[in-house]
Amino acid sequence: MKTRTLHTLAAIALLCISATEGRAQTRLGEAFNKFKLEARADVEWSRATTNVGGEQQGEAGYPYGIHGRYFNLHVGGNLGSGFTYLFRQRLKAEAGSIDFFDNTDFLWMNYEHGNWSLRFGKDAMALGGYEYDAPPIDEYFTSVYWDNIYCFQLAAGASYTTDDSRQRFTLQVSQSPYVNSRGLRWDEGLLAYNVMWSGSIGNHLNTLWSTSMVEMERGRYMNLTMLGTRWTSGETSMYLDLMHHALATDDWGKNLGVVFRWDYRLRPELTLFIKGSYEQNRSEVDLQTPTALDNLVPAGHRYGKYGAGCEYRPVESVRLHAYLAEMSDETIATETTQHSLCVNVGATWTMDFHKIFKK
């Protein structure tokens, strides 16, 4: 697989190099207006402890090390007559486990005409929330919901954008993430139906709100509602994501979560941030029935994550980060809590070949 990946990268690179000459530059410049590689690696140290009934029972050690987090290929462009495409591939050594497109985040074609657009292919499920909406390479310590959802699915959707471009409404049908979490085949026919509003209210407030019916098995659904709201003003930005998922009509209020992040740009190249999340799943479920389980947050648990950090960009294509985070996982029935303290520093760098060839 590594050899095939290198051959693919070499072929694309040759195309882009040829695009720098004469009229070919114009034609391929439109077809490849996005072509870049990005990577991230982290150095991490953590300390884990276990508490039962409020008393510490012991430590699980001090794991530490260096690990690569992401290595992504981006390709995108204009196909003409309103058609565009985007391809984002996570370059991994192992093959996919569910389908041919397992490690492909995006591989979609979009058609836009007036206020309407149609999209088909591998895409992110149309779900709200700003933590969910951010590229994975830009996220650090994340909510359990974010960790568990199989968000990139084959999908078809339609969107309407208002004349002032401030409001966008999307209706999408995608493959259900339960296909992945239950290890099913692609032809099980499980679907998710998503409705999303991404809009602007005034000059400072933006929304990513959605509600979905996610099929767990034929005819049985989980409702997933995500309300993401972001406020920006000057050098300050903050968002609040509210989430709720229910497995049945009498399951309301038991399974919910909240994510908050605040960013302050101290200097153009330096940003400080704090982030926190709380999630719980108090649903009464039959643990022997996989289809009754919430595939986002494990039943009978409460989770808390909070921390602070900074991002520094010495140049546009390089980002350095550091953060300190505390995380907890409580099993409600036994009052057993797993605590972990994490210290992380790392770097993200982007090799934007399109910009290089354009210069």
- One digit per residue, pLDDT tens: the chain, 359 residues? 444 544 545 444 444 444 444 444 545 567 778 899 999 999 999 998 888 766 666 666 678 899 888 999 999 999 999 999 999 998 876 555 545 567 889 999 999 999 999 999 999 999 999 999 999 999 999 999 999 999 999 999 999 999 999 999 999 999 999 988 888 888 888 999 999 999 999 999 999 999 999 998 888 899 999 999 999 999 999 999 999 998 877 778 889 999 999 999 999 999 999 999 999 988 765 555 555 577 788 888 899 999 999 999 999 999 999 999 999 998 888 888 888 999 999 999 999 887 777 76
108, containing H or E segment? strand 104-113
CA-based Rg of the chain, rounded to a whole angstrom?
A: 22
How far apart are the C-alpha atoms of 185 and 187, rounded to whole Å?
Answer: 5
132, containing H or E segment? helix 130-133
Nearest-10 crossing angle of helices 2-18, 22-31: 130
pLDDT, position 250: 75
pLDDT, position 300: 84
| Distances from the Cα of 266 to the Cα of 222, 270, 310, 312, angstroms | 42, 6, 10, 10
Beta bridge partners of 256: 244, 280
Question: Which structure tokens are listed for 214?
Answer: 């996610």
123, containing H or E segment? strand 116-124
Question: Which structure tokens are listed for 163?
Answer: 């004349």
| Distances from the Cα of 45 to the Cα of 73, 154, 221, 322, 329, angstroms | 28, 37, 40, 12, 18
Residue 310: partners with Cβ closer than 8 Å, 6 or more residues away: 270, 271, 272, 273, 321, 322, 323
pLDDT, position 15: 44
pLDDT, position 93: 61
Question: Which structure tokens are listed for 47?
Answer: 């300390």
Q: Per-residue pLDDT tens for 36-55?
A: 999 999 999 999 888 876 66
Please report, as a single letter, which amino acid is at residue 66.
I
pLDDT, position 16: 47
pLDDT, position 17: 45
pLDDT, position 19: 42
Q: Per-residue pLDDT tens for 109-150?
A: 999 999 999 999 999 999 999 999 999 999 999 999 999 999
